Amino acid sequence: MATDSTPHANRKVTLTDIAAGCDVSRATVSLVLRGSPLVNKLTRARVEEELRRQGYVYNRAAANLRRRTSSSIALVLNDLANPFFAEFATGVDEALGGAGYVTLLGSTGESVAREQAVLGSLLEHDPAGIILSPAEGSDAGSVLRTIGLRTPMVLFNRELGGKASTEAPWDRLMLDNQRGARLATEHLIALGQRRIAFFGGHAGSSSCQQRHAGYVEAMKAAGLTIEPHWRIESAPNRVDAAAQCGALFFDAPAPTAAVCYNDAVALGLMLGLHQRGIRPGRDFAVTGFDDIAEAGLSAPPLTTLASTPRARGRQAAELLLQRLRDPQAPAQRTVVPVQLVVRGSSCPPPSA
């Protein structure tokens, strides 16, 4: 069996090894690898046999260096553990993989400092582009400073803070937050609700502001007044939402329904209500935002706004790929509609 060139050698197999192994030049092997029509049928066969024999694996980094190209894309998420973003990431990876790109993952855990660090570290790997769902409070100026203008970026889900945000040439993919929250609020009003709170999220975040604006819009349109203590902030996760539940009932008049910042918050709120002996979907109406998988499985199932995160992921990837094809095109701002999904958590007020 054993020949001079051992297939399972310890060093990495390179173009040069293959070239030596079948008496052609490196250039020819390279042409074979890229399926060039220039190379003779016979030599191609010989080379391909040798590639197999030695177990060659292509070194894309070296090729990218020489060609001044890149075959990776950085995906930076504020919270990968949130199923909404996990689905999104799956969609992104699906689409990128199909286009021959590889996904460089970075999770920031909602920390602006980590976001800076992660972006810096991923940039050193020279991604062709970036898909960023910013951490809360992330600022356009500092992001611009670390990534520069060379690397195109698609912003997802949230706007960046600071004045630099409007000038920066980034594409955007945003949910129609305002309309979504308006739909949810109108739905509750149609059920007869009058005392409706807006619950959860940080007032600083752009998506939260937009959703709150939609809520206000619907309330005003219906001629309903909004009590100041009907606006409760919380971190956008279950645990903190459950903890803040009590704040809804400190002052009179207490609300009988709540439009929540997102599903995580809504599920947390329902948990908090349960603990107080208040039955969501009977004594108190709740709506969410996102339609994550468990929204349909909670008790009661959650009325919410569907945004199909996996499809959004594919869309964000498409947007970036398109930008890579045409770097000069003007920046796009895409707003995707959301759809109201009515389930058991929304109900008329107890008096009705």
Q: Does 299 bind a second copy (CB under 8 A)?
A: yes
The answer to whether residue 105 forms part of the interface with a second copy (CB under 8 A) is: yes
**170 CB-contact burial (10 Å; exposed 0-12 / middle 13-18 / buried 19+):** buried
Q: What is the dihedral of CA 125, 126, 132, 137, to 10 degrees?
A: 80
Residue 206 interacting partner from DNA, a second copy, none (CB closer than 5 to 8 Å by kind): none
158 binds a second copy (CB under 8 A): no
Q: Which residues have a Cβ under 8 Å from the Cβ of 302 and sit 6 or more positions away?
A: 263, 266, 267, 270, 286, 287, 288, 295, 296, 343, 344, 345
CB closer to a second copy, 16 vs 121: 121
Q: Quick one: what does residue 55 bind among a second copy, DNA, none, with the CB cut-off 5 to 8 Å set by partner type?
A: a second copy
Tokens of 39: 């190379």
Whether 211 and 236 have beta carbons less than 8 Å apart is answered as no
Near a second copy by CB under 8 A: residue from 6, 36, 121, 275: 121
Cβ atoms 172, 166 nearer than 8 A:
no
The listed partner (DNA, a second copy, none) that binds 1, CB under 5 to 8 Å by sort, is: none
195 touches DNA by CB under 7 A: no
Nearest alpha carbon to residue 214 among 48, 73, 335, 42: 335
Residues 55-114 contacting DNA, CB under 7 A? 58-59, 62-63, 65-68
Tell me how crowded residue 189 is: count the other CB atoms within 10 A of its CB. 18
By beta-carbon proximity to DNA, the closer residue of 62 and 329 is: 62
Shortest CB 262 distance to DNA, Å: 41
Site for a second copy in 308-337 (CB under 8 A): 310
Q: Which of 126, 176, 186, 291 binds a second copy (CB under 8 A)?
A: 126
Kindly state the smallest distance separating residue 151's Cβ from DNA, in Å.
Answer: 14
Give, as one character, the DSSP assignment of residue 236: S
Binds a second copy (CB under 8 A): choice among 28, 54, 78, 103: 103
* Beta-bridge partner residues of 77: 107
Binding mask 235-264 for a second copy (x = CB under 8 A): ---x--------------------------
Q: Does the protein bind a second copy through residue 97 (CB under 8 A)?
A: yes
Among 6, 7, 9, 27, indicate the residue that binds DNA (CB under 7 A).
27
Contact in structure between 129 and 154 (CB atoms under 8 Å): yes
Cis upstream peptide for 236 (omega within 30°): no
Work out which of 6, 7, 40, 225 binds DNA, going by CB under 7 A: 40
Question: What tokens appear for 251 in the block?
Answer: 């002052």
CB of 151 within 8 A of CB of 123? yes
The nearest distance, CB 207 to a second copy, in angstroms, is 20
In sequence order, what are the beta bridge partners of 215? none
CB of 94 to a second copy, least distance (A): 7
Give the whole-angstrom CA distance, residue 301 versus residue 350. Answer: 19
List the one residue from 181, 267, 338, 340 that touches a second copy (CB under 8 A): 267
Q: Is position 116 an interface residue for a second copy (rule: CB under 8 A)?
A: no
Compute the distance between CA of residue 128 and CA of residue 61 in angstroms, rounded to an integer: 13
Residues at the interface with DNA (CB under 7 A) = 12, 14-16, 23-28, 30-31, 33-34, 38-43, 58-59, 62-63, 65-68
